[in-house]
Structures are given as C-alpha cells and as structure tokens.
Amino acid sequence: MQDRLDAIARRFEELEAQLADPQIATDPDAYRQLAQERSDLVPIADGYRQLVEIENALAGAEEMLRDDDPEMRALASAEVDELTATRDALGHRLQVMLLPPDPLDKTDVIIEVRAGTGGDEAALFAAELARMYMRYAESKGWSSEVVSANEIGIGGYKEIVFTIRGKGVYSRLRYESGVHRVQRVPKTESSGRIHTSTATVAVLPELEDVEIEIDPNDVELEVYRSSGPGGQHMQKNSTAVRLTYKPTGMVVESQNERSQLQNRVRAMSVLRARLYALELEKRASALSDERRSQVGTAERSEKIRTYNFPQNRITDHRLGLTSHRLVLVLEGDLDEFIDALVSWQEEKRLQEIAAGA
C-alpha cells in the first residue's frame, strides 16, 4: 500500500504543476482531463497527507513515553492510544480507496421490479418498492423515468421497469438486487391476519451501444397503442414498442415515451442490459446467470430483505442489520442500508485480496 500511496502523492503533485501551467490552460480538453484526474485523486492525496501528519505526531508522542515525569508519560500514553486508533482507521479507509474501481460503478441503471408470491398484495408491494427507489433517486439529485409498467388496476404492478440516471448510481444501487419480502395485514384482509408477500428487484447497468453488439436481424419489432400516460396523442397513435430478441425469445416493451422512435431507443437500452447480464453467465459460471441470480425464483426463502409493518421493522438478511424506520425507508431514506452494504462489499474485497496475497 505504501508504494501506491507514494506514487499517487507524486502524481497529484505533477497534476497540480501541470494545471498551473499557462499552456495547459489554453487547451480546454487537456485541462478538463487533468482536472478530472486530480479531482479523482484528491480524497486519497488528502488522506495520505493526514496519515503522514498522524504518524509524525505518533512518533513524537512515543518519544515522550521515555520522559522522566510520570504525568508526562501518562499524557503521552493517552495520546499514543488516540493517535494509533486514528492512524489505523485512516489506514483502513485508504485501503478501501485503493481498491480497483468497477468500471460499471459510474453507469446509470435499469431497475426491474416484479411482483412475486402473494397475488395483488405482491403487486402493491412492487409499486411501493419502485416508488422507494424513485424517491431515493430524487433525494440524490438523480433522475428517474418509467420505461414500461404492467398495472393491475388498484395501484400495483405485476412488473415495472424504469431507469435511474446520475453520478455513481450503479455503485449505490447494485446491491438492491434480490427478493424483498413484506409482512403486513392487507387492506382487503377482514380478519386482520398478517400476510407474507414478495417482489423481486433486478438492478442492471445501462450500457452504451459499443459495449454489447446486437444484430438488427435478430430483433423483431412490433408497435401498438400505448395504454400508459400521455393523453390523446399516445392513445391515437401506435407509439409503444415491443422488441423480441429471436435467439432467446426475450421480450422488452417501452410505452411511456411520446414517440415510437424514443420508445424503440429505450427498449433497445433495456434489451442491451439484459443481454449483458446473460453474457456474464457465459464469462463466469461461478456467477451463474446474473439476472436470475439477482431475482431468484421469488420464493420467500431467497429473501435479501424483510419489511415487517406490524413492528415497523426492516431487516437486511445479508448484513443482519435491522432498523425500526420502515416508513422512512419506504419514503426513500435508504442510505443506512446502502452505506452498510457498500462497506460490507468493500470488506469482502479486502479479505479476498489479503487471502490471495
């Protein structure tokens, strides 16, 4: 780690010198590229600078442990303990920063939420999950847009597909994939009996055209009148699009754009993301099918998170983390769980690196 930190510190100094060069300022593209690289290195460079300062202070405190005055030694001992704890925590944080970034972390996402077991109650829960992610996106300054939705008529969805776009979206939402379970008394339940239902969530990276190729001859296009929002324009014209990928039989729909062309572009984006997920299966058998491993079969035993309404409790079963802020979480206050999931994955990666060293 020390060698990498030294190299980053040297590169950071080089970038600052280059950005101060008047000749660089005359080249907007070069300046922008260097400024972005510097911005990416700021957290590590600042952390390393702090680490050096702490280690220097720690060396001074350890020297004071040899003082003849007992009171000075006691003060020095307390300072050594405090500085050691701070150094170790900062060192760990720098280790995490030095983990190789996943190139997909900066991509936007396509989220697919489907009702699982539980009938209408599952469809209502699917709608609540979709709303939760859209509210979370709003709180982060991201944008969300519905691609297609299969409503059941009472405010629920058999399936809803939507995009979320913004900085670092995939890095934050990628761990939401899986089976979500809800326990509550449905409004239609007269006996007050608690029902258990599920919905599945798949979070897929939205890819650019160059990242996966699709032969146009393999895609069958159908157009039809949209039943979604948009008023008379969408009702009178065949703007909705259904794509069938013939090699696999995969079907993708988009109906919420105002033109057939826009819906076709959006449907192709979803198709590309799904095909990428299938490609992961071919490349890494250990990962199995990326998309199916995310959503499983919607059986309750495969749950990653439980939302228990009677106890106002939400539990993430991967982390063993429980919060009694269910209502706030469903309103989009997800950071407690997402922060913990990101940290959990970072620790796993550090352990894997240490085991392979």
Structure confidence at residue 136 (pLDDT): 97
pLDDT of residue 25: 85
Per-residue confidence (pLDDT) for residue 208, from 0 to 100: 66
Instruction: Give the H or E element holding residue 278.
Output: helix 260-283
CB 258 within 8 A of CB 239: yes
pLDDT of residue 284: 47
Q: How many domains does the chain have?
A: 3
- Classify residue 161 as exposed, middle or buried by CB count within 10 Å of its CB (0-12, 13-18, 19+): buried
Mean of the pLDDT values across residues 120-142? 96
The set of residues, in sequence order, having a beta carbon less than 8 Å from that of 186 and lying 6+ positions away, is: 120, 121, 124, 195
Q: CB neighbours (10 Å) of residue 194?
A: 12
Q: Give residue 244's pLDDT.
A: 92
Per-residue pLDDT reduced to its tens digit, 224-264: 876 654 444 444 567 888 999 998 888 998 887 878 888 88
What is the reported pLDDT for 76?
Answer: 92
> Do 217 and 190 reside in the same domain of the chain?
no
Residue 133 banded pLDDT, cuts 50, 70, 90 = very high
Which has the higher per-residue pLDDT, 354 or 89? 89
**Integer Cα distance of 39 and 44 in angstroms:** 10
User: Which pLDDT belongs to residue 281?
Assistant: 60
pLDDT of residue 338: 96
CATH number of the domain encompassing residue 232: 3.30.160.20
The Cα 95–Cα 101 span in angstroms is 12
Q: Are residues 202 and 341 in the same domain?
A: yes
**Could you give the 3-state DSSP secondary structure of residue 202?**
strand
Quote the pLDDT of residue 211. Answer: 61
| Residue 77 shares a structural domain with residue 201 | no
Tell how strand 240-245 and strand 219-224 pair up.
antiparallel
Residue 236's pLDDT is what?
Answer: 53
Structural domain contains residue 86 = yes
pLDDT at 233: 41
Burial class for 5, CB neighbours closer than 10 Å (0-12, 13-18, 19+):
buried
Residues 215 and 116 in one domain: no
pLDDT at 326: 96
Q: Please tell me the predicted confidence (pLDDT) of residue 237.
A: 65
Of 283, 307, 341, which residue constitutes the final position of a domain? 283
pLDDT on residue 341: 94
Q: Are residues 306 and 202 in the same domain?
A: yes
Give the pLDDT confidence of 209-227 residue by residue, as tens digits.
546 778 888 999 988 876 6
Phi-psi region of 58 (alpha: psi -120 to 50; beta: other; left: phi over 0): alpha
Whether 20 has a pLDDT exceeding 60, the answer reads yes
pLDDT confidence of residue 63: 92
Please tell me the pTM assigned to this model: 0.73
The answer as to whether 222 is a domain residue is yes
**Cα–Cα distances in angstroms (integers) from residue 104 to residues 37, 205, 211, in the given order:** 18, 7, 11
Which domain, by its residues, includes 11?
2-97
Residue of 185, 331, 206 lying closest to 276 (CA atoms): 206
**What is the rounded CA–CA span in Å between residue 110 and residue 203?**
6
Do 174 and 307 reside in the same domain of the chain? yes
Rounded to an integer, what distance in angstroms lies between the CA atom of residue 96 and that of residue 118? 41
Rounded mean pLDDT, 338-347: 92
- Tell me how far apart the alpha carbons of residues 180 and 297 are, in angstroms, rounded to a whole number: 12
The rounded Cα 148 to chain-centroid distance in angstroms is 21
Domain final position from 227, 256, 283? 283
Determine the average pLDDT of the residues in 319-345: 95
Please identify which residue in the block is written with the tokens 């020390």: 2
- Please report whether residue 356 resides in a domain: no
Instruction: Say yes or no: 176 and 215 in one domain.
Output: no
DSSP secondary structure string, 305-333? EEEETTTTEEEETTTTEEES-HHHHHTT-
Q: Are residues 108 and 185 in the same domain?
A: yes
Give the end of a domain, one of 283, 306, 335. 283
**Three-state SS string across 205-270, please?**
ECCCHHHCCCCHHHEEEEEECCCCCCCHHHHHCCCEEEEEECCCCEEEEECCCCCHHHHHHHHHHH
Residue 188 has what pLDDT? 66
Judgement on whether residues 120 and 176 belong to the same structural domain of the protein: yes
- Answer yes or no: is pLDDT of 17 > 80: yes
Q: Residue 132: how many CB atoms within 10 A of its CB? A: 21
**Does 180 lie in the same domain as 119?**
yes
* Judgement on whether residues 319 and 230 belong to the same structural domain of the protein: no
Residue 242 is assigned to a structural domain of this protein: yes
Encode pLDDT of 269-316 as tens digits: 888 888 887 776 665 443 344 444 555 544 445 699 999 999 999 999
The average confidence (pLDDT) of the chain is 86
Same domain, 179 and 301: yes
